[in-house]
Amino acid sequence: MLLALQRHPRYLVLLAFLLVGSFFYLSAPYPTVEYNAQTVGFPGDPSLPSRVQRAEKAYTKVLEKRKALIKKHGPSPSQVVLFPPDRRPWPAYTVWDFFPPAFNCPHELERVGTLGDGGKWTCGLSRIAQKPDCVIYSFGMDWESAWEAAVLDETEHCQIWGYDHDKKGFGHQISSLSFTKGHRTHYQRHVQLGPHDAHERSDETKLYTLETVMRANSHTYIDILKVDLESYEFETFRALLQPYIDAGQPLPFGQLQIELHMWNGRFADVLSWWELLEAAGLRPMMMEPNLVYVNYNRASGAELVEYTFLNIKGNNIFIEDPPTLAEGPSARK
């Protein structure tokens, strides 16, 4: 090689140029996103609208594929069963194949909280990490609060309101947090999210609509709504979503985490319910079968699945950047 360089000096100049260029390229700092002091809560992200648009374009293709799958196994929705029996012709599907999480989260998608039961797939937690007015609701607490504890740990201002019809409070993960983080939690017992209000003394299970709970807390918007209603989600969300669809208004939350329970359901009912969610602007980004339930109820199958939805209507923090300080926080949700 040295002999070749001696015979052709111009190659030596080229080699030196490549070596110097490589040195500066490799030693340059990794590009990072800088916070813009003119925005509230999060830096500008000029490519966010286009990412949401591309994700929606890809999702519309799934709608046509769903129609084709229904035609193949129906051909009408009323003829499709949720879980085909183990006998001929052994159709290769379950109800979940019709509703894949085909919308791409436009931010980081991570499983927040513990592995196994308690953790939740969450889109864009960084978007609310410093949001001053971050509000989160959690209905159906049970005994596990790993997700809530992780959210408090990874955000500066998020306040979490927890509700359950029976449990006395958040799980032990919240009580083990420092006072400054645990102080951002609020809990109320004997409250279950429902399709209508029914919380008189004579009502055994106290039902509250989301609108009633938000009004009591003086809230107009929720960043993340987490729900586990043990199969009452179908009736509850039909009543919750329809008024917003009829009025042409965006839903009052940016992201939905919900466990679906396919106990004694019918495919046609599930399909119409799912299409209601889509009409309201909800798009599924992630799903996770409840394998703990499958393990303990092997004869029943995968009847429980957790979904994470993004609301693509309105101007929530997950699909649009915050306003400038001049516009003020009231300019957006």
The CB density around residue 76, as the number of other CB atoms within 10 Å, is 10
Claim to verify: residue 293 and residue 154 sit in the same structural domain:
yes
d(CA 300, CA 281): 32
Q: Which domain holds residue 26?
A: 1-31
CATH number of the domain residue 200 falls in: 3.40.50.150
Claim to verify: residue 162 and residue 228 sit in the same structural domain:
yes
Claim to verify: residue 12 and residue 131 sit in the same structural domain:
no
Claim to verify: residue 14 and residue 135 sit in the same structural domain:
no
Put residue 116 in one of left, alpha, beta given phi > 0 → left and psi -120 to 50 → alpha.
left
Tens-place pLDDT, residues 289-310: 988 888 888 777 789 999 999 9
H or E element in which residue 24 lies: helix 9-27
Residue (of 320, 322, 330, 331) closest to 38 by Cα position:
322
Claim to verify: residue 91 and residue 14 sit in the same structural domain:
no
Residue 163 in contact with residue 199, Cβ under 8 Å?
no
Residues 6+ apart with CB under 8 A from 332: 315, 317, 320, 322, 323
Claim to verify: residue 214 and residue 316 sit in the same structural domain:
yes
Claim to verify: residue 104 and residue 23 sit in the same structural domain:
no
Residue (of 265, 263, 270, 274) closest to 309 by Cα position:
274
Least confident of 44-48, 50-54, 97-101, 255-259: 44-48
Claim to verify: residue 119 and residue 22 sit in the same structural domain:
no
Asked if residue 43 is part of any domain, the answer here is no
The gap from C-alpha 236 to its chain's centroid, in whole angstroms, comes to: 18
d(CA 113, CA 118): 7
Asked if residue 97 is part of any domain, the answer here is yes
Does residue 194 carry a pLDDT above 90?
Answer: yes
Asked if residue 42 is part of any domain, the answer here is no
Tens-place pLDDT, residues 216-263: 999 999 999 999 998 899 999 999 999 999 999 999 999 999 999 998
Total domain count, the chain: 2
Asked if residue 131 is part of any domain, the answer here is yes
Residue 223 in contact with residue 135, Cβ under 8 Å?
yes
C-alpha pair distances (Å), 233 with each of 109, 175, 261, 270 = 24, 28, 8, 11
Asked if residue 40 is part of any domain, the answer here is no
Total-model pTM: 0.83
Q: What is the DSSP letter of 114?
A: -
Claim to verify: residue 18 and residue 118 sit in the same structural domain:
no
Asked if residue 23 is part of any domain, the answer here is yes
Claim to verify: residue 121 and residue 240 sit in the same structural domain:
yes
Q: CB-hemisphere CA count at 13 Å for 4?
A: 4
Asked if residue 125 is part of any domain, the answer here is yes
Claim to verify: residue 113 and residue 260 sit in the same structural domain:
yes
Helix axis angle, 233-247 to 267-279, nearest 10°: 40
Tens-place pLDDT, residues 107-161: 999 999 989 888 899 999 999 999 999 999 999 877 778 899 999 999 999 999 9
Residue 162 in contact with residue 187, Cβ under 8 Å?
yes
Claim to verify: residue 8 and residue 80 sit in the same structural domain:
no
Asked if residue 36 is part of any domain, the answer here is no
Q: How confident is the model at residue 39 (pLDDT cuts 50, 70, 90)?
A: very low
pLDDT, position 42 = 52
